[in-house]
Amino acid sequence: MATVPDGGPRAGEAATRHTLLVVTLRWPVVLFDFDGTLADTIPLIVASYHHAIGTIGEAADDLEVRSWIGRPLQPVLEERYPGRGQELTDTYRTWNLAHHDELIRTVDGIPELLGRLHDAGARTGVVSSKKAETVRLGLRAVGLEGVIDVVAGQEETTRHKPDPEPLLYAASRLGADAGSCVYVGDATVDVQAARAAGMGAIAVTWGAGVESALEATAPDALVGTSAELAEALLPGS
Protein backbone atom coordinates (compact mmCIF):
# COMPACT_ATOMS: atom_id res chain seq x y z
CA MET A 1 0.00 0.00 0.00
CA ALA A 2 1.35 3.41 -0.91
CA THR A 3 2.20 5.79 1.90
CA VAL A 4 1.46 9.52 1.96
CA PRO A 5 4.70 11.51 2.16
CA ASP A 6 5.16 14.42 4.56
CA GLY A 7 3.65 17.52 3.04
CA GLY A 8 1.46 15.42 0.74
CA PRO A 9 -2.33 15.38 0.40
CA ARG A 10 -3.00 14.86 4.10
CA ALA A 11 -1.02 17.96 5.07
CA GLY A 12 -2.70 19.86 2.23
CA GLU A 13 -6.13 18.79 3.38
CA ALA A 14 -5.37 19.99 6.91
CA ALA A 15 -4.16 23.32 5.56
CA THR A 16 -7.33 23.64 3.46
CA ARG A 17 -9.52 22.96 6.48
CA HIS A 18 -7.67 25.65 8.47
CA THR A 19 -8.03 28.13 5.59
CA LEU A 20 -11.76 27.47 5.42
CA LEU A 21 -12.08 28.14 9.14
CA VAL A 22 -10.28 31.46 8.76
CA VAL A 23 -12.51 32.44 5.84
CA THR A 24 -15.67 31.80 7.87
CA LEU A 25 -14.73 34.36 10.53
CA ARG A 26 -17.28 37.15 10.36
CA TRP A 27 -15.12 39.40 12.55
CA PRO A 28 -11.39 38.76 13.00
CA VAL A 29 -11.41 40.31 16.49
CA VAL A 30 -13.97 39.18 19.07
CA LEU A 31 -14.27 41.17 22.30
CA PHE A 32 -16.35 39.87 25.17
CA ASP A 33 -17.96 41.25 28.28
CA PHE A 34 -17.13 38.97 31.20
CA ASP A 35 -19.96 38.89 33.77
CA GLY A 36 -22.98 37.05 32.41
CA THR A 37 -21.28 36.48 29.05
CA LEU A 38 -18.09 34.43 29.36
CA ALA A 39 -18.96 33.26 32.86
CA ASP A 40 -22.14 32.85 34.88
CA THR A 41 -21.34 35.32 37.64
CA ILE A 42 -24.84 36.75 38.02
CA PRO A 43 -25.79 34.84 41.21
CA LEU A 44 -22.46 35.89 42.75
CA ILE A 45 -22.93 39.55 41.81
CA VAL A 46 -26.55 39.74 42.92
CA ALA A 47 -25.73 38.09 46.27
CA SER A 48 -22.77 40.45 46.75
CA TYR A 49 -24.96 43.51 46.17
CA HIS A 50 -27.64 42.23 48.52
CA HIS A 51 -25.07 41.57 51.23
CA ALA A 52 -23.46 44.99 50.87
CA ILE A 53 -26.65 47.06 50.98
CA GLY A 54 -28.05 44.85 53.72
CA THR A 55 -25.24 45.94 56.03
CA ILE A 56 -26.67 49.48 55.99
CA GLY A 57 -30.27 48.32 56.40
CA GLU A 58 -31.22 48.78 52.76
CA ALA A 59 -32.78 46.39 50.26
CA ALA A 60 -33.46 46.23 46.51
CA ASP A 61 -35.27 43.65 44.43
CA ASP A 62 -33.36 41.35 42.11
CA LEU A 63 -34.55 43.12 38.96
CA GLU A 64 -33.11 46.45 40.13
CA VAL A 65 -29.86 44.82 41.25
CA ARG A 66 -29.46 43.04 37.91
CA SER A 67 -29.88 46.39 36.14
CA TRP A 68 -26.70 47.62 37.87
CA ILE A 69 -24.58 44.89 36.29
CA GLY A 70 -22.27 46.05 33.51
CA ARG A 71 -21.43 49.39 35.07
CA PRO A 72 -18.52 50.18 37.43
CA LEU A 73 -19.33 49.20 40.99
CA GLN A 74 -18.65 52.31 43.06
CA PRO A 75 -20.45 54.85 40.84
CA VAL A 76 -23.55 52.63 40.82
CA LEU A 77 -23.59 52.35 44.61
CA GLU A 78 -22.83 56.03 45.14
CA GLU A 79 -25.63 57.01 42.79
CA ARG A 80 -28.11 54.74 44.56
CA TYR A 81 -26.87 55.40 48.11
CA PRO A 82 -25.25 58.88 48.14
CA GLY A 83 -22.33 59.21 50.51
CA ARG A 84 -22.04 55.44 51.02
CA GLY A 85 -20.47 54.38 47.72
CA GLN A 86 -16.94 53.66 48.92
CA GLU A 87 -18.10 51.92 52.09
CA LEU A 88 -20.50 49.69 50.16
CA THR A 89 -17.92 48.97 47.47
CA ASP A 90 -15.43 47.77 50.08
CA THR A 91 -18.08 45.58 51.72
CA TYR A 92 -19.18 44.20 48.35
CA ARG A 93 -15.64 43.30 47.28
CA THR A 94 -14.76 41.60 50.55
CA TRP A 95 -17.84 39.36 50.41
CA ASN A 96 -17.53 38.79 46.66
CA LEU A 97 -13.94 37.59 46.86
CA ALA A 98 -14.72 35.33 49.84
CA HIS A 99 -17.47 33.56 47.85
CA HIS A 100 -16.03 33.96 44.34
CA ASP A 101 -15.00 30.42 43.43
CA GLU A 102 -17.97 28.94 45.28
CA LEU A 103 -20.61 30.80 43.27
CA ILE A 104 -19.08 31.40 39.83
CA ARG A 105 -20.08 28.96 37.08
CA THR A 106 -18.90 28.09 33.57
CA VAL A 107 -21.26 28.85 30.69
CA ASP A 108 -21.83 25.64 28.71
CA GLY A 109 -19.89 25.61 25.46
CA ILE A 110 -17.91 28.81 25.99
CA PRO A 111 -14.47 27.20 26.54
CA GLU A 112 -14.97 25.15 23.38
CA LEU A 113 -16.08 28.21 21.42
CA LEU A 114 -12.97 30.15 22.42
CA GLY A 115 -10.86 27.24 21.25
CA ARG A 116 -12.64 27.24 17.89
CA LEU A 117 -12.14 30.99 17.52
CA HIS A 118 -8.42 30.72 18.13
CA ASP A 119 -8.17 27.77 15.75
CA ALA A 120 -9.85 29.94 13.13
CA GLY A 121 -7.31 32.72 13.62
CA ALA A 122 -9.43 35.13 15.66
CA ARG A 123 -7.94 37.38 18.30
CA THR A 124 -9.97 37.78 21.48
CA GLY A 125 -10.29 40.19 24.37
CA VAL A 126 -12.35 40.88 27.46
CA VAL A 127 -13.68 44.38 28.10
CA SER A 128 -15.22 44.66 31.56
CA SER A 129 -16.36 47.34 33.98
CA LYS A 130 -14.72 45.45 36.85
CA LYS A 131 -11.05 45.54 37.77
CA ALA A 132 -8.75 43.59 35.47
CA GLU A 133 -7.32 41.54 38.34
CA THR A 134 -10.85 40.42 39.26
CA VAL A 135 -11.57 39.52 35.65
CA ARG A 136 -8.41 37.38 35.57
CA LEU A 137 -9.49 35.72 38.81
CA GLY A 138 -12.78 34.83 37.12
CA LEU A 139 -11.09 33.59 33.96
CA ARG A 140 -8.99 31.21 36.08
CA ALA A 141 -12.06 30.00 37.96
CA VAL A 142 -13.88 28.96 34.77
CA GLY A 143 -10.86 27.53 32.97
CA LEU A 144 -10.32 30.39 30.52
CA GLU A 145 -6.96 31.59 31.78
CA GLY A 146 -4.46 31.92 28.95
CA VAL A 147 -6.99 31.81 26.10
CA ILE A 148 -7.79 35.54 26.03
CA ASP A 149 -5.34 37.82 24.21
CA VAL A 150 -6.06 41.03 26.10
CA VAL A 151 -8.01 42.04 29.23
CA ALA A 152 -9.27 45.63 29.53
CA GLY A 153 -10.61 46.36 33.00
CA GLN A 154 -12.18 49.32 34.74
CA GLU A 155 -8.85 51.03 35.47
CA GLU A 156 -7.75 51.15 31.82
CA THR A 157 -10.01 54.05 30.79
CA THR A 158 -11.64 57.06 32.37
CA ARG A 159 -14.99 56.53 30.67
CA HIS A 160 -17.01 53.33 30.77
CA LYS A 161 -19.83 51.56 28.93
CA PRO A 162 -22.03 52.67 27.25
CA ASP A 163 -19.17 55.00 26.24
CA PRO A 164 -17.05 53.31 23.52
CA GLU A 165 -13.68 54.17 25.10
CA PRO A 166 -13.04 50.77 26.80
CA LEU A 167 -13.84 48.86 23.60
CA LEU A 168 -11.64 51.12 21.49
CA TYR A 169 -8.84 50.73 24.01
CA ALA A 170 -8.99 46.93 23.72
CA ALA A 171 -9.02 47.14 19.92
CA SER A 172 -5.96 49.39 19.97
CA ARG A 173 -4.15 46.91 22.24
CA LEU A 174 -4.75 44.28 19.55
CA GLY A 175 -3.76 46.62 16.72
CA ALA A 176 -7.24 46.32 15.22
CA ASP A 177 -9.56 48.88 13.67
CA ALA A 178 -13.07 49.07 15.12
CA GLY A 179 -14.74 47.82 11.96
CA SER A 180 -12.98 44.47 12.26
CA CYS A 181 -14.27 43.91 15.81
CA VAL A 182 -17.44 42.61 17.40
CA TYR A 183 -18.41 43.00 21.05
CA VAL A 184 -20.40 40.25 22.75
CA GLY A 185 -22.30 41.10 25.93
CA ASP A 186 -25.40 40.49 28.01
CA ALA A 187 -26.48 44.08 28.77
CA THR A 188 -27.97 46.95 26.80
CA VAL A 189 -24.91 49.07 27.64
CA ASP A 190 -22.79 46.47 25.85
CA VAL A 191 -24.69 46.86 22.59
CA GLN A 192 -24.76 50.63 22.96
CA ALA A 193 -20.98 50.75 23.53
CA ALA A 194 -20.35 48.54 20.51
CA ARG A 195 -22.49 50.73 18.27
CA ALA A 196 -20.80 53.89 19.55
CA ALA A 197 -17.40 52.31 18.82
CA GLY A 198 -18.38 51.35 15.27
CA MET A 199 -18.16 47.64 16.06
CA GLY A 200 -20.46 44.72 15.48
CA ALA A 201 -22.70 43.85 18.43
CA ILE A 202 -24.00 40.50 19.66
CA ALA A 203 -26.26 40.20 22.70
CA VAL A 204 -26.56 37.00 24.74
CA THR A 205 -29.64 36.18 26.78
CA TRP A 206 -28.09 33.93 29.46
CA GLY A 207 -26.81 36.86 31.54
CA ALA A 208 -28.32 39.77 33.44
CA GLY A 209 -30.12 41.52 30.59
CA VAL A 210 -33.83 41.37 29.83
CA GLU A 211 -34.33 39.79 26.41
CA SER A 212 -36.90 42.34 25.20
CA ALA A 213 -34.63 45.22 26.20
CA LEU A 214 -31.66 43.62 24.46
CA GLU A 215 -33.73 43.06 21.32
CA ALA A 216 -34.77 46.72 21.33
CA THR A 217 -31.11 47.76 20.97
CA ALA A 218 -31.01 45.99 17.57
CA PRO A 219 -27.80 43.97 17.89
CA ASP A 220 -26.42 42.13 14.87
CA ALA A 221 -27.52 38.92 16.58
CA LEU A 222 -29.44 37.99 19.72
CA VAL A 223 -28.43 34.52 20.87
CA GLY A 224 -29.62 32.20 23.61
CA THR A 225 -26.95 29.48 23.57
CA SER A 226 -23.23 29.16 22.97
CA ALA A 227 -24.06 27.14 19.83
CA GLU A 228 -26.04 30.09 18.45
CA LEU A 229 -23.17 32.40 19.36
CA ALA A 230 -20.75 30.13 17.51
CA GLU A 231 -22.95 30.28 14.41
CA ALA A 232 -23.04 34.08 14.59
CA LEU A 233 -19.25 34.31 14.90
CA LEU A 234 -18.29 31.37 12.65
CA PRO A 235 -21.17 31.07 10.17
CA GLY A 236 -21.31 27.75 8.40
CA SER A 237 -18.35 26.26 10.25
Q: 6, 33, 62, 177: which is the annotated catalytic residue?
A: 33
> How far from chain centre, in Å, is Cα 45?
15
Tell me the three-class secondary structure of 110-149, residue by residue.
Answer: HHHHHHHHHHCCCEEEEECCCCHHHHHHHHHHCCCCCCCC
Contact present, 189 and 160 (Cβ < 8 Å):
no
Is 33 part of the annotated catalytic residue set? yes
Q: What is the per-residue DSSP string for 34-74?
A: -BTTTEE-HHHHHHHHHHHHHTTT----HHHHHHHTTS-HH
- What are the Cα distances from residue 132, in Å, to 4, 136, 144, 159? 49, 6, 14, 15
> Catalytic residues, which ones?
33
